[in-house]
Chains A and B, each alone.
Chain A
Amino acid sequence: MTRPDNREASHLRAMHCSLGQLNRADGSAQFTAQNTSVVCGVFGPVEAKVYEEKLDRAVVEVKFRSDIGSSTTKDKWVESAIRSTFEREILAHQHPRTLVQINIQLRESDGSVDSAAINATSLALVDAGIPLKSMISAATCAVLSDDVVVVDPTQEEIDAARSVHTFAFANPVSDSNKQGPLYVDSRGNFTMDEYNHCYDLCVLAAERVLAFMRTAIEGKVTKEAKINTT
């Protein structure tokens, strides 16, 4: 089986990320998997507007833009997916009456956008130092028409796929896997066996994504910590 980009079925695309690129945001991250690229900027905790502030916890607001111009219902759908995933993972009770604003901009889209957006958000929240119950990593896989399951599909593969599955897990992935995923979006035409197979593959992929994100954060933290010790 060869994939359009000559990857093996279980291989992720080469990932790249950079933290703190946006100097006006409290935290930011760019997450790239070859031709899929997402930038996320986080502000918070900042003052919430009086009508939206909650007395016992922080409000989490997510804005997702896939293009220039006003947002579409498609963007709203992604926003709601990300908000529902992160809303309870952010320890909102530590900062009542405030707002945590998550802004996500899609830069390049070539499949597996939802999971890239979740990963970028996770990194940006950590960069901003927002207290999180745990880091979240996400992965997508697709069942192609010939029953082959591929991880981290490109848009071309998604268009030809019979079903597409996105899962998000908390850190550590092994525990999160035992308890159950944080977010699932499986759609297309599939059986429970296929779902379970994709689930297992995504657990492994999410673990790898998390390991990658860990290295990225460690790099930044060591850079700062080194100076502290000298």
Chain B
Amino acid sequence: MVETGQAAAAVAMQTFERIHPVEFQRRFLGQNTRHTGREFNQFRALKVIKGAISTAQGSATVRLGNTTVVCGIKAEVCEPDVKRPTAGYLTTNVELSPMCSARFRAGAPSDEAQVASEHIYRLSMHLLDLTSLCIESGKAAWSLSADIVCLKHDGNVVDAAVIALVAAIEDLRLPRAEFDSATGVVSADKEALGHVDVKKRLFPATFVLVDDLCVVADADDAEEQMATASLLVVMDGEGKLVNLWKRGAGVISREAVEQCVERARERMSEIAKVLD
């Protein structure tokens, strides 16, 4: 009897969540808790697997609660830009396909995916010294393309994507390449693989203002649907800020922003532990 009672209560709760998703969340927030039982400033469990894809030169799988993203880096040799003859390339692409959430449609990348791609591209500039990708000045350089694919979208994809990119870059092994100036051919020694120097590790932390009421860390999809503002804090390993990005018209006070930055600082060591 007790069991059926509990089951019925669970069904009733699920029904409530389906029918009144906003009210459902508000009941929890009103009690200073979240519907998953997490604390307001608690992140979900983070799991990083480096080198998940053997065909890519560098790869990583990141799980942040139910959100799963895979990042694979493909390295190719190409001619450097005339303006910057000693620099290689790093391009990023975030893919939010219909498989990760019902919100996305097949076809051209959604605005959300394009914005995430662009933002991560801007962040990636801090990650690598592009001149370290140079093989021969003005002749040949490595071009890295990082494809970040979201497999499960349960909120906070940007955090997961940034962590995946950092992990994949750290996992990246490039063959030693030599440029033969006589023939103009680049030969790679596949036996001698080397790491790429990471200029700065990036540690992201996203906070979301839910329902104009409370700032929560690492929102899941249901919470993101109710978000009126979001704040992304990206730190480098030394505790300096790399990016602070607040969007949406919801009001996050100056003090709250400072608290978020403090929390992001703690988060830095949490992520670093998992990455190592």
A–B contact (CB under 8 angstroms): yes
Of A16-24, A37-45, A100-108, A177-185, the segment with at least 4 beta carbons within 8 Å of chain B is A177-185
Chain A residues, Cβ within 8 Å of B237: none
Known: A79-B111, A80-B115, A189-B126. A85 touches B241 (CB 8 A): no
Q: Could you say which residues of chain B place their CB within 8 Å of the CB of A76?
A: 111, 114-115, 118
A77 CA to B232 CA, complexed, in Å: 15
A85 to B231, CA, bound (A): 13
How far, in whole Å, are A81 and B117 apart by their CA atoms in the complex? 14
In contact, A180 and B257 (Cβ under 8 angstroms): yes
A-contacting 9-mer, from B31-39, B63-71, B243-251: B243-251
Chain A positions within 8 Å of B257 at CB level: 180, 184
How many contacts A-B (CB < 8 Å)? 80
Q: How many residues of A contact B (CB 8 A)?
A: 31
Cα of A186 to Cα of B232 in the assembled complex, Å:
10
A92 to B240, CA, bound (A): 39
Inter-subunit contact B252/A190 (CB<8 Å): no
Segment among A25-33, A191-199, A210-218, A220-228 that sits at the interface with chain B: A191-199
Query: Is A110 in contact with chain B by the CB < 8 A criterion?
Result: no
- Binary contact track B234-276/A, C-beta < 8 Å → 1, others 0: 0010001111111111111110111001000000000000000
| Interface size class, chain B | 20 to 34
Q: Mark each residue of chain B from 220 to 233: 1 if its CB lies under 8 Å from any CB of chain A, else 0.
A: 00000000100100
- Would you call B122 an interface residue if the criterion is a C-beta within 8 Å of the partner chain's C-beta atoms? yes
Whether A192 and B246, one on each chain, are in contact in the complex, defined by CB atoms closer than 8 angstroms, is: no
Please, how many angstroms separate the alpha-carbon atoms of A196 and B119 in the complex? Answer: 23
Residue in B114, B122, B250, B254 whose CB lies within 8 Å of A187: B122
Contacts of B253 in A (CB 8 A): 178-180
The reply on A88 being an interface residue by CB < 8 A is yes
Can you report 10 A-B residue pairs in the complex whose CB atoms are below 8 A from each other?
Answer: A73-B115, A76-B115, A85-B247, A86-B249, A179-B253, A181-B246, A184-B245, A185-B244, A190-B241, A191-B240
